[in-house]
Chain A
């Protein structure tokens, strides 16, 4: 049985950073990823990474912006950790070789981003996530003696010992279908978000909530699952992302009458208000008939100098050209709010520890919570790196003081039985996996989106529960061992349905409007009753809801204007 002191599941930014941090402590590390690490979705983070590195800027200012952006649902102790450590993390990345943009003096240069009171976003053109992730992957290769990479291994469940501690995982080698039990003293879940529950979404096809669902099934609490970010600038229909960097560089949002409608909702910050604010404003324009007939508004990037567009927004030039047939240097592009990010996730503390000893979570999988009700642009990369690092260190420290606990073969048997069951379903006996996935995506995008109400959320929850039943008999075509994506899709669908059920249940529970949760039936923020986290714990009858306190250190809730 392959065993590592620390086993990291997922090899995006959070996973790779955790692996490097753990390896620095001298423990043996394994990193398991269902796709090759450089295919991970951290690639998609275009705009940049926030840090108060400039001498005129302060981490307190960054923290305040984050707290305000979160609509006061973020835990301020965790936010302080993230913002305080951000500058050193940027320098760490720079020293590793990230090709950050420089100013004329050859020092690190910044761009402006949404919801921020200073230009503190560091970037590599508009491929920041990709550039950082490829550099971290370089380091994984460099330290291949300490870090074993399991590339294209699918992790499907966690092994918990009789003491209730996490001691390993069950994996499937995608290349040949062989099943393997891995032993570990600490397991870090860094499998990203669950955006595939929505259709359309900016998220990649691999973002199916694997880690969130595995932790939930093992008994860990989830938190704030109703907080789903709709990004203000995505391509209609296809869901492709247009970076917030475009607005950071000065692009305007216009309705069909050519009006800069952000004047109404955010007269000071205009297009650079928090994402929830901008998405609501856009959706209001569209709903009230001031959008274009295709249900969009326009993003006008032509106001940015051409040279600057090519230097700093090149990826968007390509996205516009290849996926919308629009030359963004010459004409506005049609966009709308689209599913983008899961603020909620596996409940952890600032060291990435979940409720289950030995089990950690970091990045979009986790809810620390630094994003609360709404994540600021360019804070997600930072979240992955800072809490990836903390998880890796703490997981290594735990490994050094913990004895081996051998995972039971029964977990492996259960998993094999599940796969045999899926393989045994006859064609036509139930629905196709893809049909269920499509219905789920459309349902969630209709009801758990920018504006929500009780009737819609209830309908979504009922649909999800029906789909969960249907998924039990859903059939697949591929019964082979080699690269069986069909089978993995069937397992991923069950992860997605668990996550979706939690998001619906939490959205129904929170009877107020805060951050990304806008209830048209409860339009106001209600600090007296709802300044608290919603925790979800798995039971046979669905998630059981409890509450936990929001940690407030120095910033009391106040009215939120931009």
Chain B
């Protein structure tokens, strides 16, 4: 058993008061969860503390919340680890370094730490009460936006559809999504553009695009590529991958949607795919980004593109002139290599060859990272202390016996 302080962001809509912070002391085995801490508080101190929860085992997706600023599930975060994280953050910001340097014992430790574990409702969603958010208007509405059901054509076969075994394992990664909203909560693009369809709904979209039984792949991809708040609205920040408690890696699913849209030759109003390809090609050639080439390569790729620019390319290039001029005016684009195409240098020495070698390696290993296929060797290998693991597994019972 150990003592912890949880600091909860509370909002009681009927009180007429704005949101406020409240601290509670809880007494728990470190291997129990932050949700267990909240439930103990509800049970013993304040039954009005609202938090959605059900399974306690990270399968129902009810208890999405922010713990020390990180979007996750309350039931999946061990309170001992949350404390260690809170201490580390306090030490890093230097606010309570004295407390943070005092030892926080794991199993069996008893001294309470005064660095509280901070618990807030999920982000990007209106709060209904305490940790309960309105997921209907922010998550489920967008979820329905991607036509989330299978659209096969023609009569179903008499028996099952015959499909590649790998295709089913492939989409099982997005099927593993429990709709907890942690990715939505952490999404930086959605913070900037609340209309962004978002990581959870797009991961769901991949579940159908990747399903060989679905007959409307092209329609789905076109729809999501043409929507200005669709697949090209993601800024590749990895927040959703960090937040996802089930290894769904929503951003990876969005990238797969983009790749499929690109492969299918779907032109999108954002020129998202060609812009991405321009990045890839320029870096392959020069090692670093030649910004002066970026727009040209995005809209008029290669020599052919420049000799015979499409109407759209000309329009886009002229349309982007104000941005370029603004760049010069504000001093963002000043040096010659940023202004004149082709002046940008390659990496010195053999460095450019190393970059090319990376490309070569990536192409040779062009396969998806899917947890259902690969597991996560590296992550578990970091914990060689098997004895410790066995001890931890029995600790709850020991604690209860005490």
Chain A positions within 8 Å of B, measured between CB atoms, are 35-36, 38-41, 43-44, 90-91, 94-97, 99-109, 124-125, 127, 130-131, 134-135, 138-139, 141-142, 151, 175, 204-206, 235-238, 240-241, 292-296, 306-307, 309-311, 314-315, 317-319, 321-327, 329-331, 333-334, 432-434, 438, 476-478, 480-486, 489
Contact = CB atoms under 8 A, between A and B. Distances in A.
Contact of B371 (A105, A237, A241, A310): A310
B240 interface: no
B396 interface: yes
Contact of A482 (B43, B128, B160, B161): B128
B398 A310 contact: no
A293 B389 CA distance: 16
Which 8 residue pairs of A and B lie closest in terms of their CB atoms, listed nearest first? A237-B396, A97-B150, A325-B392, A310-B375, A434-B43, A478-B48, A477-B47, A486-B47
B168 A99 contact: yes
A241 B149 CA distance: 30
B55 A204 contact: yes
B211 interface: yes
Contact of A44 (B57, B129, B396): B57
Contacts of B380: 321, 327, 329-330
B38 to A, nearest CB: 11
A485 B393 CA distance: 32
Contacts of A236: 394, 396-397
Interface stretch (B58-66, B231-239, B330-338, B352-360): B58-66
B156 A95 contact: yes
Contacts of A135: 150
B175 A142 contact: no
Contacts, number: 222
Contacts of B150: 96-97, 135, 138
A294 B397 contact: yes
Contact of A329 (B53, B61, B375, B394): B375
Contacts of A44: 55, 57, 59-60
Interface string B142-159: 001000111010001001
23 contacts: A35-B54, A38-B178, A39-B54, A41-B54, A90-B160, A95-B156, A101-B169, A102-B165, A106-B163, A106-B164, A109-B165, A127-B172, A130-B59, A131-B172, A141-B148, A141-B149, A175-B128, A295-B397, A306-B375, A309-B375, A310-B373, A314-B371, A324-B392
A403 to B, nearest CB: 35
B400 interface: yes
B170 to A, nearest CB: 9
B264 interface: no
B9 interface: no
A330 B393 contact: no
B50 A483 contact: yes
Contacts of B60: 35, 38-41, 43-44, 204
A434 B56 CA distance: 17
Contacts of B303: none
A483 B50 CA distance: 7
Nearest to B55: A204
Contacts of B390: 326, 331, 334
Nearest to B208: A97
Interface in B274-316: none
B179 interface: yes
B76 interface: yes
Contacts of A292: 394
A57 B398 CA distance: 47
B175 A124 contact: yes
Interface in B44-102: 44, 46-48, 50-62, 76, 78
A304 to B, nearest CB: 12
Contacts of A489: 47
Contacts of A483: 50, 128-129, 132
A476 B50 CA distance: 13
A434 B149 contact: no
Contacts of B31: 323, 325
A38 B389 contact: no
B372 interface: yes
Given A102-B164, A314-B371, A334-B394, A205 B56 contact: yes
Contact of A97 (B57, B149, B373): B149
A50 to B, nearest CB: 16
Contacts of A327: 380, 383, 386, 389
B241 to A, nearest CB: 16
A334 B208 CA distance: 39
Nearest to A435: B43
B13 interface: yes
B374 interface: yes
B393 A325 contact: yes
B175 A205 contact: no
Contacts of B32: 238
B160 A91 contact: yes
A484 B13 CA distance: 12
B192 interface: no
Nearest to B13: A482
A357 B50 CA distance: 38
A175 B135 CA distance: 12
Given A35-B62, A94-B160, A139-B149, 14 more contacts: A44-B55, A91-B160, A101-B168, A102-B165, A127-B175, A131-B175, A138-B150, A205-B54, A236-B394, A236-B397, A293-B394, A323-B57, A324-B392, A486-B47
